Amino acid sequence: MQHISGSDINISIGTQIVNVKQYTLNVEDGIKPTTTRGVPDGFVRGVVSASGEITLDTQSYNKLVEAAKTAGSWQQLGVFDIVGLGKTLDQEFKTAAYGCKLRLSKILDASGEGGDKLEHTIAYDVTDSRFIEINGVPYLDQSFIETLG
């Protein structure tokens, strides 16, 4: 059986397929245990958030530079859905992060010795109530989301 590796992952940012060196998606779930007189007795919901980083070479980074130029600036760049898909003959793994707002993080990572491509890291935050899905399964309780209006 062929397992999925990092080289099997392709991502799309909006409608652009982008080659990445590194792609992360992290979830912070604010669920906290509750106690009564020091004894655990359930939990409460808390704030949830998701964020990550994308590390690109200059060729892929320049695709985003062009999108920012068209928008007028990096800050004016709209939100994107970011879909990551890893697929082999035997396995598939898909993540979708909705309404991602990009933030420049590490604009340039260059070694004076050469031998490696330039790298650029872009951070992002998930801003849409659809939040994230893993293999098509939503992370958030959809009945709770519906009550938000």
Q: Give the model confidence (pLDDT) of 100-136 as tens digits.
A: 999 988 888 777 777 788 889 999 999 999 999 999 9
- Place 140 in a pLDDT band, splitting at 50, 70 and 90: very high
* Domains, the chain, ordered by start: 6-31+43-146 (2.30.110.20)
The per-residue DSSP string of 85-149 comes to EEE-SS-EEEEEEEEEEEEEEEEEE--TT--S--EEEEEEEE-STT-EEETTEESS-HHHHHTT-
> Residue 101 has what pLDDT?
96
In this prediction the pTM is 0.87
Mean pLDDT of 137-145: 89
pLDDT 10s digits, 34-52:
999 999 999 999 999 999 9
> Residue 149 has what pLDDT?
64
- Place 6 in a pLDDT band, splitting at 50, 70 and 90: confident
